[in-house]
């Protein structure tokens, strides 16, 4: 049992703003028949989460006290690629206890003393592939992994400087100096905890999928607000951006076969057996064919950022390890992302070639020092799965944010409506915005996180 | 024989500005007894270069025509760590011919038709370790490797867009579209050529050192001005920066055991036998000792950007794969850089553990679009070995550049004097500048490259 608690907004209901009908520009496109889900409660995995011991409801049964809510606002749209939504989301408060505070009864007492905890917020988007199973498991699991990881180092996080020894014992008088020289700060422990949590969650998903005979994987984009900083951890092709009045700042990078080409080619160079003589690790502008034999064609290998020419040999005619461009780029002809959770069983069709060795579950973490920003009322972080970013650029999203928020200051539901409006903008209704009235045929999920409320220590909207 | 030619300014002499005595702030510090070398002519390897077939003297014997000179200005100071200077430099014009222009006689004719060539400039700094042999070989060899690599792809470089097939043959009608989609431009071929040249040069150095029973390695920082762009390729801890009136732009990153920790740890994770049970791949703030056993201490592994705590086991007490901080950081207790040329025979003292598997010879290349800059008279690139940057920050170097150049506009030797002055500033004479009157005890080499002359198509200072 845990004295920390976690709330999945989509499961627990609670004091959320009531849904309002979307405005004209936000109306769903009939021919897409999108199902607007307030969360992912319709998926069995998500429903299961309410029975997990670490997913506490918002109303604490022990004390009957409703904790304040100030997390972001999310909308999810199901493209109906699968019966259950492959996009899954989770968010809630993170309450990190200290380990040494005695038995369970004492811990419970500590819920009355919030200053004994590190309090934070957690938002997560998971974009599944090969079915929703991995995304549902991730939505139900990752926050617990993160809490465990954070609790394992919380003593270091609350110290003025993380001590060399977690116990605080000083084996060597120069230890603080060594830590100082390495520039190790509390935020490095949070980054380490996020990295550890993603890996731990990946292992859990692997075990649970194998046990239940299910398959699949998912990307993971997580934001954590803690100690005045916002941590954004990303493994996959979702994206988070900061939108302010005069600034658009990317808070994540996408990890795809194209962006991680060199890492993936390098692995195939070290372990050629992973390609089982079926693929070539070299990159060419297109797949080569018989007519190219003996010609000098453009190529690049694992050590190259630039391009060169090579004389085509027969082995170059194999299917490329990474093939296609942009949205079409695939790893081993199969997968469009190079980091994420799950996929332990995934193999190239009709072969025994595994994808997993090429995938990383470890996220890249960026840190936004929220306390150092001169925050304005409308400063928000927008997190969304690739369904949004395929259709809208960072600039277009920022334009929508800036167009919508200032005119709706009195509306208590404005962040929720903004999230909904962003999703509607991917449904091809607004030619002016998306240029060619582009439509996203993917699941789309969006969080809008108002930063001003984060910096105000938890008093929500 | 080659129709392209290369000039090593330090060897060939030629129509260079005469050396002038340094000004008051540029005078050498007596107690350091620095030897100001106008080049590295005192080293045997460098002298050998004048006998190499591809190192043509500035005066073409065939035509008696002196080609214009507009390269940068260099100073080198020997810290007397070794008899011969471990810092070596090379610079000159690059003349890239097209391959298909027939036999040697025709090629010679083409020297009258410079428009048939791609003309460029080349500057290189090599900082040797374990003796000057590798640096001297690199200074004598790398430009030839680069010329060969560029000539192998020059057809693609001069086309509007590099063709899929170097021959220009179109096997597939969509080939230009595939190349366009990948965003492949002429500059990518130059980057690829630089990457290939570094690797080729590394192989040459490996062979030549083995044949002559010599040892050693060197860093390599190369700048190439070609087709209106400046390419900076770096493997090691030298640095190049652009200094303009209102901008300081780093043009390279340093590659050290610290900056490449994750790549190095990852290799040790994949191939633990490389550590021969003598080293631990984990990073700790300091080397662990018996008293740490069983304690939870700060650590990070190959997949971590952040830090976490682990319980110390006996195997953690081994010497760390990467140890020390900043200038003291060493790979396998031996080497302060993680990229460079040579070191094929380098082993950890008294063991058979090789360094080379952890070293990369491939450089990182950055591209400066000089033609797109609104160039001012005093815009320069400063290239220098770590001897300079250990003592002066980018900002301090920029301050010196901006203080010196505008007041000396009429002085034809001002770039040369600036390079000399920068070196003198590392000798601890100017407390105001380096804060604590820091002294560089390392070899120091500096190039100052005036960009304005580069953009004016080769008319030099």
Query: Which of B308, B342, B323, B79 has its CA nearest to residue B206?
Result: B342
A295 CB neighbours in chain B (<8 A) are 165-167, 169, 171
Q: How confident is the model at residue A170 (pLDDT cuts 50, 70, 90)?
A: confident
- Residue-level pLDDT at A131: 92
**Would you call B305 and A365 a contact, using CB atoms and an 8 Å cutoff?**
yes
pLDDT at A368 over 60: yes
Q: Is B365 helix (H, G, I), strand (E, B) or coil?
A: strand
**Would you call B286 and A153 a contact, using CB atoms and an 8 Å cutoff?**
no
Tell me the mean pLDDT in the region B38-64. Answer: 29
- Residue-level pLDDT at A161: 94
- Residue-level pLDDT at B309: 98
- Residue-level pLDDT at A85: 81
Query: Which of A421, A184, A218 has its CA nearest to residue A337?
Result: A218
List B243's β-bridge partners, or say none.
B248, B380
Query: Which of B129, B86, B122, B118 has its CA nearest to residue B197?
Result: B122
CA dist., res. A92 & res. B356, Å (int) = 49
Q: How confident is the model at residue B88 (pLDDT cuts 50, 70, 90)?
A: very high
Q: Which of A164, A296, A325 sits opposite B298 (nearest CB)?
A: A164
Judged by phi (left if over 0) then psi (alpha if -120 to 50, else beta), residue A280 lies in: beta
Higher pLDDT: B459 or B283? It is B283
pLDDT in tens, A106-127: 554 444 445 567 889 999 999 9
Q: Which of A286, A307, A325 to mutate to test the interface with B (most CBs of B within 10 A)?
A: A307
- Residue-level pLDDT at B115: 55
Q: Which residue has the tokens 């009939």?
A: A30
pLDDT at B85 over 50: yes
Give the closest-approach CA distance of A231 to chain B in angstroms: 12
- pLDDT above 70 as % of chain A: 74
Q: Which residues of B68-93 are buried (b: 16+ CB within 10 A; e: fewer)?
A: ebbbbbbbbbbbeebebbbbbbbbbb
**Would you call A306 and B189 a contact, using CB atoms and an 8 Å cutoff?**
yes
CA dist., res. B13 & res. A325, Å (int) = 51
pLDDT at B178 over 90: yes
pTM for the predicted model, two decimal places: 0.82
Do A380 and A415 form a contact (C-beta atoms < 8 A)? yes
Query: Any idea what the Cα angle at residue B198 is, between residues B193 and B200, rounded to 5°?
Result: 90
**Would you call B307 and A175 a contact, using CB atoms and an 8 Å cutoff?**
no
CA dist., res. A136 & res. A159, Å (int) = 36
**Would you call A303 and B190 a contact, using CB atoms and an 8 Å cutoff?**
no
CA A71 → CA A159, B94, B417, distances in Å? 27, 60, 61
Query: Which of B85, B92, B93, B94 has its CA nearest to residue B39?
Result: B85
pLDDT in tens, B28-45: 222 222 233 333 332 323
A300 CB neighbours in chain B (<8 A) are 192
B190 CB neighbours in chain A (<8 A) are 306
Query: Any idea what the Cα angle at residue B181 is, between residues B178 and B182, rounded to 5°?
Result: 90
Say which DSSP state A300 is in: B
Q: What is the DSSP string of A443-458?
A: -EEEEEEEHHHHHTTT
**Would you call B295 and A184 a contact, using CB atoms and an 8 Å cutoff?**
no
CA dist., res. A131 & res. A148, Å (int) = 28
pLDDT in tens, A409-438: 999 899 999 999 999 888 876 655 555 567
- Residue-level pLDDT at A171: 82
Structure tokens belonging to residue B459 = 């008319």
- Residue-level pLDDT at A231: 98
pLDDT in tens, A235-266: 999 999 999 999 999 999 999 999 999 999 99
pLDDT at A383 over 60: yes
Give the closest-approach CA distance of A130 to chain B in angstroms: 26
Give the closest-approach CA distance of B304 to chain A in angstroms: 6
- Residue-level pLDDT at A303: 95
Give the closest-approach CA distance of A119 to chain B in angstroms: 20
CA dist., res. B429 & res. B408, Å (int) = 22
Q: Which of B286, B323, B327 to mutate to test the interface with A (most CBs of A within 10 A)?
A: B286
Give the closest-approach CA distance of B183 to chain A in angstroms: 10
pLDDT in tens, A89-109: 999 989 888 755 455 555 544
- Residue-level pLDDT at B76: 64
Do A186 and A162 form a contact (C-beta atoms < 8 A)? yes
- Residue-level pLDDT at A17: 29
Candidate from A115-129, A349-363, B214-228 with smallest mean pLDDT: A115-129
pLDDT at A10 over 50: no
**Would you call A192 and B308 a contact, using CB atoms and an 8 Å cutoff?**
yes
Higher pLDDT: B61 or B169? It is B169
Q: Which of B152, B187, B362 sits opposite A303 (nearest CB)?
A: B362
Express the helix, strand and coil content of chain A in percent, nearest 5 each: 35, 25, 45
pLDDT in tens, B256-307: 999 999 999 999 999 999 999 999 999 999 999 999 999 999 999 999 999 9
Q: Which of A156, A285, A305 sits opposite B309 (nearest CB)?
A: A156
Q: Is B188 helix (H, G, I), strand (E, B) or coil?
A: helix
Q: Which of A266, A309, A327 to mutate to test the interface with B (most CBs of B within 10 A)?
A: A309
pLDDT at A319 over 80: yes
B270 CB neighbours in chain A (<8 A) are 270
Q: How confident is the model at residue B336 (pLDDT cuts 50, 70, 90)?
A: very high
B152 CB neighbours in chain A (<8 A) are 308-309
Q: Which residue has the tokens 């060399």?
A: A164
**Would you call B174 and A365 a contact, using CB atoms and an 8 Å cutoff?**
no
Other CB atoms within a 10 A radius of the CB of residue B413 amount to 16
Tell me the mean pLDDT in the region A388-400. Answer: 95
**Would you call B292 and A195 a contact, using CB atoms and an 8 Å cutoff?**
no
Q: Is A82 helix (H, G, I), strand (E, B) or coil?
A: coil
Tell me the mean pLDDT in the region A377-402. Answer: 95
- Residue-level pLDDT at A327: 84
CA dist., res. B394 & res. A350, Å (int) = 56
- Residue-level pLDDT at B171: 82
Q: Which of B265, B273, B309 to mutate to test the interface with A (most CBs of A within 10 A)?
A: B309
- Residue-level pLDDT at A64: 24
- Residue-level pLDDT at A55: 29
- Residue-level pLDDT at A427: 82
Tell me the mean pLDDT in the region B98-113. Answer: 51
Average pLDDT of every residue of chain B: 80
Higher pLDDT: B30 or B142? It is B142
- Residue-level pLDDT at A431: 53
- Residue-level pLDDT at B106: 54
- Residue-level pLDDT at A452: 84
- Residue-level pLDDT at B452: 84
- Residue-level pLDDT at B4: 25
Tell me the mean pLDDT in the region A281-288. Answer: 96
Question: Number of C-alpha atoms within 13 angstroms, CB side, residue A346?
Answer: 26
- pLDDT above 70 as % of chain B: 74
pLDDT in tens, A194-205: 999 999 999 999
pLDDT at A43 over 50: no
- Residue-level pLDDT at B100: 53
Give the closest-approach CA distance of B303 to chain A in angstroms: 7
CA B251 → CA A219, A359, A383, B89, B236, distances in Å? 34, 32, 33, 18, 13
- Residue-level pLDDT at B99: 55
Q: Which of A181, A195, A305 sits opposite B306 (nearest CB)?
A: A195
Q: How confident is the model at residue A77 (pLDDT cuts 50, 70, 90)?
A: low
Other CB atoms within a 10 A radius of the CB of residue A100 amount to 7
- Residue-level pLDDT at B407: 92
- Residue-level pLDDT at A75: 65
* CA max distance for chain B: 77
Q: Which of B177, B290, B307 to mutate to test the interface with A (most CBs of A within 10 A)?
A: B307
pLDDT at B20 over 60: no
**Would you call A307 and B152 a contact, using CB atoms and an 8 Å cutoff?**
no
Give the dihedral sign, CA A280/A281/A286/A291.
negative
Other CB atoms within a 10 A radius of the CB of residue A341 amount to 31
Candidate from A64-68, A361-365, B93-97, B416-420 with smallest mean pLDDT: A64-68
**Would you call A193 and B306 a contact, using CB atoms and an 8 Å cutoff?**
yes
The residue of chain B with its CA nearest to that of A199 is: B303
Tell me the mean pLDDT in the region A68-78. Answer: 53
**Would you call B296 and A167 a contact, using CB atoms and an 8 Å cutoff?**
yes
Other CB atoms within a 10 A radius of the CB of residue B349 amount to 8
**Would you call B190 and A162 a contact, using CB atoms and an 8 Å cutoff?**
no
């Amino acid at each position: 049992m845990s004295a920390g608690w976690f709330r999945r907004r989509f499961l627990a209901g609670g004091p959320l703003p009531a849904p309002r009908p979307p405005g004209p520009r936000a109306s769903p496109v009939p021919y897409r028949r999108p199902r607007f889900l307030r969360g992912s409660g319709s998926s069995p995995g998500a429903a299961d989460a309410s029975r997990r011991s670490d997913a506490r409801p918002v109303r604490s049964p022990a004390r009957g006290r409703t904790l304040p809510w100030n997390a972001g606002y999310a909308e999810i749209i199901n493209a109906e690629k699968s019966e259950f939504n492959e996009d899954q989301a989770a968010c809630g408060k993170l309450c990190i206890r200290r380990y040494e505070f005695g038995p369970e009864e004492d811990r419970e007492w500590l819920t009355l003393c919030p200053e004994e905890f590190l309090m934070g917020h957690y938002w997560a988007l998971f974009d599944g592939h090969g079915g929703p199973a991995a995304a549902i498991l991730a939505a139900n699991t990752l926050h617990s992994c993160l809490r465990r990881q954070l609790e394992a180092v919380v003593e270091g996080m609350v110290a003025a400087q993380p001590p060399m020894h977690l116990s605080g014992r000083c084996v060597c008088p120069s230890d603080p100096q060594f830590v100082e020289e390495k520039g190790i700060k509390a935020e490095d422990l949070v980054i380490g905890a996020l990295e550890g949590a993603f890996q731990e969650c990946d292992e859990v998903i692997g075990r649970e999928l194998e046990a239940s005979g299910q398959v699949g994987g998912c990307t993971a984009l997580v934001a954590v607000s803690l100690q005045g900083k916002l941590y954004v951890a990303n493994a996959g092709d979702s994206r988070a951006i900061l939108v302010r009045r005069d600034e658009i700042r990317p808070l994540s990078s996408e990890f795809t076969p194209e962006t991680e080409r060199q890492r993936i080619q390098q692995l195939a160079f070290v372990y050629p057996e992973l390609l089982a003589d079926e693929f070539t690790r070299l990159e060419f502008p297109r797949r080569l064919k018989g007519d190219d034999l003996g010609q000098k064609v453009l190529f690049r290998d694992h050590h190259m950022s630039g391009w060169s020419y090579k004389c085509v040999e027969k082995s170059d005619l194999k299917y490329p390890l990474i093939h296609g461009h942009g949205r079409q780029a695939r790893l081993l002809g199969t997968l469009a992302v190079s980091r994420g959770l799950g996929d332990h069983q995934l193999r190239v069709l009709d072969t025994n070639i595994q994808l997993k060795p090429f995938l990383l579950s470890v996220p890249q973490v960026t840190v936004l020092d929220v306390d150092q920003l001169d925050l304005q009322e409308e400063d928000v972080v927008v997190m969304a799965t690739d369904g949004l970013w395929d259709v809208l650029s960072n600039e277009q999203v920022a334009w929508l944010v800036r167009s919508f928020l200032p005119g709706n200051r009195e509306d208590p539901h404005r962040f929720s409506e903004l999230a909904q409006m962003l999703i509607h903008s991917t449904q091809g209704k607004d030619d002016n915005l998306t240029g060619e009235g582009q439509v996203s045929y993917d699941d789309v999920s969006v969080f809008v996180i108002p930063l001003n409320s984060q910096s105000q220590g938890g008093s929500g909207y």
